[in-house]
Amino acid sequence: MALTIHAWQPGEPLPPEPAWPAACAGGRAEWQWRHARNPHGTRVYLALEDERVVGQVAAVPHAAWIGRPAVFAENIGSFGRARGAGLARAGVYARLGRALQEAHGQPGGDLVHYGIVSGAEWRVVNGLLEGEVVRNLTALVRTLDAGAHELPPGVERLARFDHQAQWLWDRIAGANPALTVRDEAFLNWRFVERPGVAYERLGVRDAGGILRGYAVLAVAEFGGRRALWLVDLVVPLEEPEVARALLAGAAALARAAGERELATHVPEWSPWFDALQRAGFLVHPLAAWLFARPFARKFDEVWLRDHWWFTLADTLHV
């Protein structure tokens, strides 16, 4: 039967219900949030057999900064169900992947497509989507002992992010050669509006009410490890006391949730990698790899490994 490739756009009817479990474990609401409500656009390519969805390759774009504006997009939610197996299914992936890359991986388009893989998934990513490994992911893990279950003084829960998120991001952007733009629109979409995921958002303000740093946390299993994950920690390096307060708040939340471990990921080149170890975190390997398909030679996987401030805020796996 004829296989056709369709670029889905917001406003069109959503793919039929049978596609949801394969394309998005969170179901219809999660799929809509990822692709129809993302403030930075939509990247969804569907394979159709007689109007039946048999495959999807999708990416979730984010505004990024590399000394100039750019777009980094996470490949997530790909599947293939064409009749047959093996080469037939690989052919579906290949056609979908080429359609996505030809439309968006070009000058003026996405700079990098990336994602998280483990095990056999790597063969598909490497062979069909031309991805290369950026790094084997590690976790910084702190095992918690007895202690406070309440937030320390000066640490508050954040209901939403406002324009001050941009001020805070402006303060950290210069210290990181490549990173996602953490502005009000991104942070609320990512950590407030996502359906089905309960994030805790902590903040520290100064005497004038200005946000000096924030932490986002979620209980999850990632890379074969369950913990209270510190999904994002944004604090200027020159304010370690803010980081200490947020980490104390994170530990209190972990204890209150009955979790014994507080875990996070930051790149090995970041000063935070050493600072967190001094704060009692130990390095552990994860069963997950970060891959990338760059579309500009200068920003290849080696450059990304050494310059991209990638945290779990940049993947929808957590």
Domain boundaries, the chain: 3-110, 138-286
Distance CA 97, CA 67 (A): 28
Identical fold, 3-110 and 138-286: yes
pLDDT reading at 183 higher than 50:
yes
pLDDT reading at 142 higher than 90:
yes
What pLDDT shows up at residue 1? Answer: 60
If you average pLDDT over residues 101-126, what whole number do you get?
Answer: 81
CATH architecture for residues 3-110: 3-Layer(aba) Sandwich (3.40)
Distance CA 178, CA 189 (A): 21
Kind plus residue range of the DSSP H or E element containing 184: helix 184-191
pLDDT reading at 80 higher than 80:
no
Q: Do 300 and 294 touch, CB atoms closer than 8 A?
A: yes
Distance CA 257, CA 47 (A): 42
pLDDT reading at 66 higher than 90:
yes
pLDDT reading at 282 higher than 50:
yes
| Position 66, amino acid | I
| Position 41, amino acid | G
At residue 228 the predicted structure's pLDDT band, cuts being 50, 70 and 90, is: very high
If you average pLDDT over residues 109-124, what whole number do you get?
Answer: 80
Q: Could you tell me which residues are beta bridge partners of residue 214?
A: 203, 234
| Average model confidence (pLDDT) across the chain | 90
Distance CA 234, CA 5 (A): 40
Q: Rounded to two decimals, what is the model's pTM?
A: 0.93
Give the rounded percent of residues in the chain with a pLDDT score beyond 70. Answer: 91
Give the rounded percent of residues in the chain with a pLDDT score beyond 90. Answer: 74
What pLDDT shows up at residue 205? Answer: 98
pLDDT reading at 83 higher than 60:
no
Nearest in space to 84 (alpha carbons), one of 107, 53, 54: 54
Least confident of 97-101, 199-203, 283-287: 97-101
The CATH number given to 138-286 is 3.40.630.30
Which DSSP string corresponds to 259-280? -SEEEE---TTSHHHHHHHHTT
At residue 71 the predicted structure's pLDDT band, cuts being 50, 70 and 90, is: very high
Cβ count near 55 (within 10 Å) = 25
List b or e across 160-196, with b for residues whose CB sees 16 or more CB atoms inside 10 angstroms: ebeebbbebbebbbeebbbbbbbbbbbbbbbbeebee
At residue 121 the predicted structure's pLDDT band, cuts being 50, 70 and 90, is: low
What pLDDT shows up at residue 87? Answer: 41
What pLDDT shows up at residue 141? Answer: 98
